[in-house]
Structure 1
Amino acid sequence: MSIIELLKIEFMKVKRSMILPLLLIPPILVVVSGVFSISMYMTPEYTNAWSAMFIQSALLFGYYLLPFSMVVVCVMIANRETKNNGILKMFALPISKGKLALTKFFVLLSFLAIQLLIFSLSFVIAGFIATKIMNVTESIPVLYLLTWTLKLFTTMIPAISCMWAITILFEKPMLSMGLNLLLIIPGVLVANTPLWIVYPYCYSGYVVSNALHTVTATDTGSTLSLFPFIPCAVIISVFAICVSIKYFGRKEMS
């Protein structure tokens, strides 16, 4: 059975779950609040209006709401497998444990992409309304929004890898959720220290914070260095994925 066929089965499982409605709430809330707060300071001569609104919305989203919601998704997906012995039925099929574990991870990435798509669409709608009300004539920076959506997606991959590994290692939902939430909460503090480079839970928020000065009058460009950031993020992601593959279904297999 191929990965594509397994993905189809996984999406059929979650089709009637509460995951998709859950993904709607955080982006819409943070976009509306972020756009509303920054729109109060706009004038028709306002420059970088879209960028300012996006950064205002993405800060809270990147640091907290996006990671929080993905932790819940991880637990819901893992819980669905243990419920009614669903994982035992999957193991009864001629499928390798590693392929099944990777499929679950790809499902998580799919939900991450869906939530970021909702975030972008919500932002465009709210931003369009705000700029019309304030008579700001700046056009929608489509390429800018697409670039940032991709940045948020890629910088969340290491965090999701760790979240999923912890969810697999600690089978009790409340324990795995609590541990992940405890790792998310100090993200802002760690982002302001040299340790941020080895703390994937703050990556998305850090990248957004780093871009704050690009929407000010003294635009000096991004100071984020891709090295050693990218190698470190890749190593963390690969290690966490390997852990999740190794320990996936260990209780049922024992």
Structure 2
Amino acid sequence: MNFSKLLKNELLKIRRSKIIPLLFIAPILVVVSGIANISQYFTSEYTNAWGAMFVQSALVYAYYLLPFSMIVFCTMLSAQETQNRGLVKMMTLPVSRSALSLSKFCLLVFVLLAEIIIFFLVFVVAGLAATQMMGVPSGIPVLQISLWCSGLFLTMLPCIGVIWLLTVLFSKPLWSIGLNLLLTIPAILAANTSFWIVYPYCYSGYFVSLLLNAFSTGETTSALQWFPFLPIALLIFLLALQLSSWCFGKVRT
């Protein structure tokens, strides 16, 4: 079985699961509540309404709800293989463990991308409604919002790599969920230390925090220093991906 067929099988599993409806919960929750809270402070002279709305919506989302949702999705994907000894049966086919693990991780990346796109769409619609209702003369900065959402997506990749690795390592979902939650909760504290760069659970939140600091000084872009962040984040991502490929199926079977 080649890799493309594995991906196709994984996509079919998503269509039969409850993952797709769950993708809408976190984006709608944070966007609607965030914009509703911040829009009441808008005036007709407000010049950075979209930046304020994005930070208000994305801060809690990036630090907590986005990692939490990915933990749920990882657990759901893993549970599909343990039902009716599905993974054991899959291992009898001419397919490698690493290829199967990589196909599932690619599916997780697709799920992450889908959730970020939903966040983008909900944010634009809610933001447009808020600016119209409050009489703020501001066009939709589609390119800028796209860059902000792209930053959320890219900074989240190392985190889901580690989340997936822990999901693979523990045969009991309770252990992987508990450990991932335990590592997610102090993310905002880790982001305020010099060790944030080796703590992938805080990357997305740290990115939004930098946007908040930039907006407060009149800038429109994040001040994230790509070096040494990029090499370290890439190393964590590749290491987690490699370890999960090695260990996939060994613990469970």
Structure 1 and Structure 2 fold alike (TM over 0.5): yes
Name the counterpart of 1:161.
Answer: 161
Q: TM-score if structure 1 supplies the norm length?
A: 0.96
Alpha-carbon distance in structure 2 between the residues aligned to 1:156 and 1:200: 8
Kindly state the Cα deviation for residue 14 of structure 1 after the two structures are TM-superposed.
2.1
Q: What's the counterpart of residue 71 of structure 1?
A: 71
Q: Deviations over 1:86-138 (max 9, x none)?
A: 11222222111111110010000010001111111110111011011011121
**Does 2:249 align with 1:249?**
yes
Bigger mean CA offset, 186-195 vs 243-252: 243-252
Structure 1 Cα separation of the partners of residues 153 and 196 of structure 2: 18
Aligned length: 253
- Cα distance in 2 between the residues matched to 1:20 and 1:220: 32
**Does the 8 Å CA contact 1:213/1:221 hold for their aligned counterparts?**
no
Percent identity between matched residues is: 52
> Which secondary structure does the structure 1 equivalent of 2:151 belong to?
helix
Summarize the Cα distance change of 1:220–1:12 in structure 2 as closer, same or farther, 3 Å threshold: closer
Could you report, residue by residue, the CA deviation over 1:69-101 in whole angstroms, capped at 9, with x for unpaired residues? 000100110011011111122222211111111
**Take 1:67 and 1:50, find their aligned partners in 2: how far apart are those partners?**
24
1:162-209 superposed Cα distances (whole Å, 9 cap, x missing partner)? 000000001101110000000000000000000000000000000100
2:103 is aligned with 1:103: yes
Q: Check conservation: 2:170, 2:251, Cα contact below 8 A.
A: no
Q: Residues 86, 150 of structure 1: CA spacing in aligned structure 2 closer, same or farther, 3 A cutoff?
A: same
| Equivalent residue letter for 1:163 | I
AA aligned to 1:49 is A
**Structure 1 position 3, deviation (Å):** 2.1
On the 8 A contact 2:51/2:220 being kept in 1, the answer is no
Question: Aligned-pair distance for 1:217?
Answer: 5.1
Task: Tell which deviates more after alignment, 8-17 or 214-223.
Answer: 214-223
State the 1:252 CA deviation: 5.1
**1:1-54, CA deviations, whole angstroms, 9 ceiling, x for partnerless residues?**
332221110111121211111111011000001111110110111101111101
In structure 2, the residue matched to 1:40 is: 40
Superposed counterparts of 1:82-101, under 5 Å: 82-101=82-101
Distance 1:233 1:243 in 2: 15
Unpaired segments ≥5 residues, structure 2? none
1:221, CA displacement in angstroms?
Answer: 6.0
Alignment correspondent of 2:122: 122
Output one character per residue of 1:54-76: Cα deviation in whole Å (capped at 9) or x when no partner.
11101011000000000010011
Unaligned runs of 5+ in 1: none
Kept in 2: contact 1:35–1:56 (CA 8 A): yes
Report the equivalent of 1:6.
6
CA distance in 2, matches of 1:91, 1:15: 23
